[in-house]
Structure 1
């Protein structure tokens, strides 16, 4: 039976459209504010870091091209919902609160929060936080933990938009202590200007920190979620994740099944 030419044309166009979508680059949202060693700009001006390179490895396993799209951290979930990015790969913890608005892949890494202060500050945490000023990046699991567990400790909690603002205020003496990702803090303490600071303690496992770090997705993108889960498992099992973790973080933080 011959089909009307209009119907054939429409079906053909629809097929081409699906093919084009399948072949289109995946827009990977990362924070526009550098977050070394996870995401930062190399001397060439290109974005690199543990999560940037892992994103490229995951996309390569899927035989898809990745395009890194820097986005303000506070607007990164709205950008996902609006379709400006296809996924968030920027140290975003899988938490119950976030799962109300977006979906996640399986976790690919986990590190605890760490308290950093001057080396000569003798302090037991959380007992000795009373009267101190602590900096935390807003809209993070560390901020959630601080609000839930440290509110009655007597510490003054200051929230910042960017992690580097927190670091700079610690170095300048405007903060007594900060709470941030342990791996990021290890890298921070390698700076010459941070010689007089150290990790004082790590935060305990807590529901505020969720299940680990996963890739954030729109709730309707089930097929992409399945493909990403398979690719994450593949790059973990073949050692790619561990190799990149050792390269950028000097330790293996990958989450194994």
Structure 2
């Protein structure tokens, strides 16, 4: 990781008291930690690396470490389902300060949370097992298409279902979706391109990206509505990292291609 100068610091506006949330769980935020909500596994953005004693690593994690460093805090990863993140519930309840979960910026989500500047352009991809005859959505008529719930991939699949005539099977966890595809439970699956690329790189004979859809999506980090101080710090850190070259180094490390510079 490229060394960086700490040129600015903004105060972190977070709750200092423990909050009781749905289901009886207790969550705390602290001035000593930057609590980041994410949903694991979502490689290469956030996942547990078995080579590092199951430490959570990834593209989002590296960028959030820059923010925590700027604030003089320790990064705390809070793993949870994707639904509480996308609904804004986790941020509003004080379970975390930032949502960093390969989170696509949408108008609907922007009603319940504030987004940072975009940091990744995300296209959707159709994944299938090589040799099964699936090379695009046109081959999915009457077949079973898997999606992860509460994602823009699910929204895209629902939008195109009438046109292509497939059935949709939802999964709450990306790992379960990938396993269902590899073991033939479903015939194809839609999700963000880098997620499939990571799996395909490890198992090229078991999974491949057969089609790509340019949906104009972009990822952003999110905070609770009105948390302007923290949002300002996040945007400043992203801007500085892009100008210094540090962002490009992190991007290329995890995405395995040059940063396009936008």
Structure 1 length-normalised TM: 0.83
- Structure 1 SS opposite 2:137: coil
Whole-Å Cα distance in 2 between the matches of residues 143 and 252 of structure 1?
28
How many positions carry a matched residue from both structures?
234
Q: Which residue of 2 aligns with 1:183?
A: 194
Q: Which residue of 2 aligns with 1:3?
A: none
- How far residue 243 of structure 1 moved from its aligned partner, in angstroms, is 1.1
1:86 maps onto 2:92 in alignment: no
- How far residue 95 of structure 1 moved from its aligned partner, in angstroms, is 0.3
Whole-Å Cα distance in 2 between the matches of residues 240 and 127 of structure 1?
41
Distance change >3 Å, CA 233–CA 153, structure 1 → 2: same
Structure 2, unaligned stretches of length 5 or more? 1-12, 17-29
* Deviation sequence 1:19-71 (CA, Å, 0-9, x none): 9979432211111x321121112232321111111210233234443222222
- Structure 2 SS opposite 1:180: strand
- Structure 2 SS opposite 1:157: strand
CA contact (8 A) 1:111 1:253 kept: no
Structure label with greater radius of gyration: 1
Whole-Å Cα distance in 2 between the matches of residues 149 and 183 of structure 1?
21
1:72 maps onto 2:78 in alignment: no
Question: Which of 33, 37, 42 lines up with 1:35 in the alignment?
Answer: 42
Question: Which of 245, 249, 252 lines up with 1:243 in the alignment?
Answer: 249
Question: Which of 168, 174, 177 lines up with 2:185 in the alignment?
Answer: 174
- Structure 2 SS opposite 1:185: helix
Distance change >3 Å, CA 53–CA 19, structure 1 → 2: closer
Whole-Å Cα distance in 2 between the matches of residues 144 and 80 of structure 1?
23
Task: Within 5 Å, give how 1:78-227 maps onto structure 2.
Answer: 78-192=89-203, 194-205=204-215, 209=217, 212-227=218-233
- How far residue 146 of structure 1 moved from its aligned partner, in angstroms, is 1.1
The more displaced of 170-179 and 230-239 is: 230-239
Runs of 4+ that moved beyond 6 A = 18-22
Structure 2 length-normalised TM: 0.81
Q: Which residue of 2 aligns with 1:55?
A: 64
Whole-Å Cα distance in 1 between the matches of residues 100 and 259 of structure 2?
15
- Structure 1 SS opposite 2:122: coil
Whole-Å Cα distance in 1 between the matches of residues 15 and 226 of structure 2?
19
Whole-Å Cα distance in 2 between the matches of residues 38 and 96 of structure 1?
22
Greater per-residue strand proportion: 2
RMSD of equivalent CA atoms: 2.4
Whole-Å Cα distance in 2 between the matches of residues 156 and 20 of structure 1?
44
- How far residue 199 of structure 1 moved from its aligned partner, in angstroms, is 1.1
